[in-house]
Structure 1
Amino acid sequence: MLPPAHPALLARPSVLRRSDPGDAFAVIARRYGEPTGYCVLGGNVAAVSSWTGLSFADQYQAVTAGAGVFPCGGMYYLSLTGPHAADVLNLLSPRRFDRLEVGQATFAIFTTPEGTVDTEGVVLRVGPDAFQVSIGGETNPPTWLYDALERHPGTVAQEADLSSFNIKGPRRMEAMARLLSETHAARLATLGTFRGMPVRTRWGADAWVVRTVIGVELWASAEVTHEAWQAMTAEPAVFTPCGWDLLATYRLECPDFAFYLCPLDIHRGTYLFDAGLGHVVSPERTGEYVGRQALSDPARWGGRLWIGGLRAADPDAGRRRIGEPLPALPTGGPAGYVTSAGHSPRAGRELCFAHLDVAVRPGDTVGFADGTTWQVVPLPIQPPAP
């Protein structure tokens, strides 16, 4: 049975934490006006909704035809060094980090003893005994990090002096190249997916560029990312800052994979196999890690929910709220909860991600209290363009 409320919304923080090491919010505001609002995840001010001088249409055009830049200052950056740094990471996740080559990155899910999502991020191996990890959402280190460090006392883990931004859109590599020295800009085209390389910016600073499936990121000190934002806002024809509202649309429309966000779509209430994240469990794992026992027995620990899409039947249907429940099933429990919501220009209507009871299946029609009806669809909601 689904929980009585969206777990990410149960706790209301008394204090908010804002982290923007590269001062991206202020640099963007000087060029595009004040933020229209902020997104808060847990106690973390994670992002700006948008800016008064940047329309949604301009941002959407950037990620579909140009280069849209998402600030990632509201993240947690973790550095691990030492001969057993990979072993520490291996204890926290069903992934195998010891197999990463220097310069290789991977998406990581850090797990709980129940086989659910503790937090998620990107792990980059920057040296034989050194890793950098970027963690979003509520920006906390993996909960069981210090237990893992006790097992390997020679490993040093500390918050890293890093900030980053992510460029999305078909011209993202061209845009990133404009920030790099000529030598490193020329090498950028050879950078493979989930690979990183140390670079020199065009103003002579050191950084790392990391390429993922749908984006390219610059990881650097706050001073370097501050310089990068000044350079990007000075070239509005090339770089368009994008906010949280646009990110919701981008995630819902993403045709490549189910673009979840922690702690909205995945969190401590989502078992990995229920969320379609079985691919992050390395089949050759033989050692111990947090959640191993639970993930080896899906019949016992899973089967409570699945994550699907909702597509508004009426193009004029309004925006759904995060955590909004679907009407109750005949058994008495809710049919599901909205976890992400946004407007899709491509679909011409509102879309949602939702945690759904296993009794709700693709092709079903569900309704909300306002009388609107929505079709249940598998993820990704939008198929790849032909």
Structure 2
Amino acid sequence: MSQPSQPSLQDIYDEIRRLRDVVDILRNVQANHDDKLNHITEVVEELSQAAPTAATVHTPEGTATADPHETPRAPKPLGVAFAEDIRMGKRKTNVKREDDNDPWHSVSDSGDELPDKPTSSTLAKQSPKTRRSATRATSTRAQSLAPGEGQKTAKMEVPKPYDGTKRGKAAEQWFTRMGLYIVMNKDQFNNKDQALIWILYNMEGKAADWATPIIDDITSDKPGAPKDVKELTARFAAAFSDPDAKRAAGRKIVALQQTTSTADYVTEFRNISADLDWNDSALQDQFLRGVHWKVKEQIALRDSDPTSIEELFNVAIRIDNIHRENDENRPKRPQPSGPRATTTTTVSTTSTARRVEIEKSPNYVAPEE
């Protein structure tokens, strides 16, 4: 029985490089998670410091507490209670004339202006409840004005691994989601090779069998290795595209006819043509074959023809929208009156009776004779 061949130093070196790249990717992911956790911890600490604690909540000295056994009374309306407080001397009105030279004179009294910074003597005169409200308002305003804080970053989950069983559209959509994840989390990848390895690493089954040799080529710096995501996309599309998708799309687009709005027809035409490799002129000709004849007529009356399929889409949709708007705004025709309908019925009845009389005549000859 032959002994298995021992790996060479080059094989061991290549394997170490591949594992090192994988470790770098995992470290970047862990570092990103640690940064997010630290940011959340700082926000929680700031909110904890701004919130009132149990030790600061107490009843000020000299404040009379309400009798729990007092007979409850209906609350007074706000305007009545305010007027009685002023009359009894419980509340004073303090109307301060604004200085015309004050630069803040144009600011409204709706609470949008910034309050003056309270001094130590002012805080001493304020009640604990007032101090807590001012502290909470200042903290909230500072957090809203702080640059970079309070901004939520887009969160995107890692797509599920691709196993290679579903080809065509499913494979294309998966690869697109992987590319979007790399764009949204590009700080996790130090270079293009790590991004390529990460995409290939998220494959399993038949797709993993296809990806393994490419990973070895990238880690070994072989000449045939893909250099960027664009080149890897071309290889992936060639390996997992649906060979029958083009023929099926060709049959669908030839049979496609507009039955609803032009916008719906454009959407369906665009989805089917995504699987075709037709040039722009062929797509325009096929689009005009299936569009409604009224829209086609208006396109033909234009001074200049659309230069691209996208321009043709926009022109057709605009024409259809104008037609529909005109139909809605066109005045409706009046319904036929009663005497006209009666006359029609009478004429029809008279014609029937006359034909019966002719048939009863002895000189009548049937058409068959």
TM-score by length of 2: 0.21
Q: More relative contact order in 1 or in 2 (CA 8 Å, sep 6+)?
A: 1
Structure number, greater radius of gyration: 2
Higher helix share: 2
